[in-house]
Structure 1
Amino acid sequence: MTARLPRGRAARLRVELETLPLAVLRSLHLLRLLTTAQVQRLHLHEGTPRSRLRRTQYLLKRLQELGLVVRLSRIIGGVRAGSSGFVYGLSALGQAVLEVGGPTGGRRRRVWETKPYFQDHMLAVAELYVRLRELERDGLVELQAFEGEPGCWRHFSGSGGELTILKPDAYVNLGFKQFERSAFVEVDLATESLPTIERKCLRFISYWQSGIEQQRRGVFPLVVWLVPDEYRKERIEHTIGRLAVEASGLFTVALAEDGPALLSSPPAEDTADYLSGRAPP
């Protein structure tokens, strides 16, 4: 059950909080979990590395004391990571201050009470967002949209008329000079079976064939699988290679560390038909 919040407290904090604390809360709402280091890279850019970390730690401690964020018991990166590896989630009061529901858009919930695998997955998606923001800050690209779950989910009718939900990990839209790129992103931690990967790909193909995204946005986003190593990359590429030839251009597979550079590069010629919104066969 959701705990009752003191009446008026959220409204008071909404007025009293400064721009920076509110920005951190909004980032936590978008990404669900962030480490201290990720918060620092997103929101505190001036000063020496040590002073930036110290100010970030103070800010998060203050938000925790106000009951707006919750710190997980885990530390990412081991003992050497120290407080820079603490993981934070938005509390029910923090959600109330932002006037939003839980991460699924419904009632407020304790988003930090998840299994380590799901936490790692959330943080991997968050890392992609942080790195794209860093590229934007360097003037290399414009991050026009980043939708995490469930904002990036798509609803459509399946082959039998049943309601089907496509659940990518993120939707990204990037622009730079003369080009624009949109993509559905799947962050893979090599924990799902290849038949599961194939089923996900088939669902993307079904959504592409529905034409809904093309009508809505004029293009169908590239589907980018980000994976941890070369072996996993080869396995997923082999799985995609077994799909219908006309749909193979929907997908690309890359190492997670190469994801931001891939997403911020011009669309390749072999994906141009899909990105231009050409009607599927």
Structure 2
Amino acid sequence: MTRSDLVGLQDHLTDSDLQLLRDADKYRLLTTSQIQRLYFDHARPTPVAAARACNRTLARLRRLHILKALERRIGGVRAGSAGFVWYVGPAGDRLLRLLEPAAGRGRRNYREPSRYFVDHTLAIAELAVQTIEAARSSDVEIFDLQTEPDSWQQSLSPRGTVQWLKPDLRLVTANGDYEYHWFLEIDLATEHAPVVLRQCLAYQSFRATGRYQATHDTFPVVVWVVPDEHRRQQLRGWIDADGRLDPRLFTVITANDFLDLIRSGGHDTFTNPGGGQKGGTTS
């Protein structure tokens, strides 16, 4: 596509279309349901009207190659259009390069991703969508919501080399007079203890640098979001039993408890003994 083709294509898109494209790029993958909740549920009088508007928009953006859908659907073929998983299409990618030339976008891979990548990426997006919905309901305020790679934190190792901490999500929310910082790790019960503990140690090492605290005067609560209670107890046990770790830094919850945690700002129901202070940790 030439530059004039892209300019012409942009003229056929609404501001909402362009924002949807940017969100598809930000979250990498989104289900039809997630897109409907982000863009249509609050703007239509009924769920049926929202679903119809969403499906019409996605069909139009698909015809324009702004968005594409994975071959594999959530719930299989019987799920119909509701089962589609959407990502930035070739025309959408070129349009983003035109609109955001300073972003330094890499070449996009259009091969079908692994099942784990899809499940993990959609789980991250789901927490973001839930947070946005909570903000619309005035349950919380969102000051910042960063996905990878914007969520990554840079620091120097003791040897002076650059190292990166890579949270799945970074959130800054507010409730009343309090501001809360969160690093979120989404666990699908696929990783063994050494992998989980290595990531916990990376968070603890980053806290020790003081880099985040120097900018924000606090350190985020590190939240592991897991599928079920059995996995929650397993991760909690691994963290508490590791003598290298400060267990107060880490909160482990099930996905079903995520919204309650965000709304409460780390109320005692969810925090670990001695940890999860309002606004994060200060040490």
| TM-score of the alignment, normalized to the shorter chain, above 0.5 | yes
Distance in 1 (alpha carbons) for counterparts of 2:11 and 2:248: 49
Q: 1:95 to 1:133 in 2, by over 3 A?
A: same
Cα displacement (A) at 1:24: 1.1
Distance in 2 (alpha carbons) for counterparts of 1:62 and 1:258: 36
The answer to whether the 8 Å contact 2:188/2:227 transfers is yes
The answer to whether the 8 Å contact 1:125/1:170 transfers is yes
Partner of 2:46: 48
Partner of 2:185: 186
Q: 1:274 to 1:208 in 2, by over 3 A?
A: farther
Distance in 2 (alpha carbons) for counterparts of 1:227 and 1:272: 17
Which of 3, 6, 14 is the matching residue for 1:10?
6
Partner of 1:271: 275
Partner of 1:58: 56
- Give unmatched runs, 5+ long, in structure 1: none
Partner of 2:150: 151
Q: Percent identical across equivalent pairs?
A: 36
Cα displacement (A) at 1:214: 0.4
The answer to whether the 8 Å contact 1:181/1:264 transfers is no
Deviations 1:139-190 (A, max 9, x none): 1111221100111011212233332211110101111221111100001101
Partner of 1:162: 161
Q: 1:194 to 1:276 in 2, by over 3 A?
A: closer
Cα displacement (A) at 1:64: 0.9
Q: CA RMSD in A?
A: 2.2
Which of 19, 22, 26 is the matching residue for 1:23?
19
Cα displacement (A) at 1:136: 1.1
Matches within 5 A, 1:1-281: 5-45=1-41, 46-98=44-96, 99-100=99-100, 106-110=105-109, 113-244=112-243, 247-268=246-267, 270-271=274-275, 275=279, 278=282, 280=283
Work out the number of aligned pairs and report it. Answer: 273
The answer to whether the 8 Å contact 1:105/1:150 transfers is no
- Give unmatched runs, 5+ long, in structure 2: 269-273
Q: TM-score, normalised by structure 1?
A: 0.89
The worse-fitting range, judged by mean Cα deviation, of 75-84 and 146-155 is 75-84
The answer to whether the 8 Å contact 1:72/1:112 transfers is no
Q: 1:164 to 1:50 in 2, by over 3 A?
A: same
SS in 2 for 1:264: helix
Distance in 2 (alpha carbons) for counterparts of 1:138 and 1:189: 28
Q: 1:158 to 1:200 in 2, by over 3 A?
A: same
Q: 1:100 to 1:110 in 2, by over 3 A?
A: farther
The answer to whether the 8 Å contact 1:214/1:277 transfers is no
Q: 1:126 to 1:246 in 2, by over 3 A?
A: closer
The answer to whether the 8 Å contact 1:33/1:112 transfers is no
Q: Which amino acid aligns with 2:220?
A: P
Cα displacement (A) at 1:253: 0.2
Q: Which amino acid aligns with 2:21?
A: L
The answer to whether the 8 Å contact 1:145/1:174 transfers is yes
Cα displacement (A) at 1:87: 0.4
SS in 2 for 1:199: helix
Distance in 2 (alpha carbons) for counterparts of 1:55 and 1:69: 16
Distance in 2 (alpha carbons) for counterparts of 1:87 and 1:137: 24
Cα displacement (A) at 1:116: 1.4
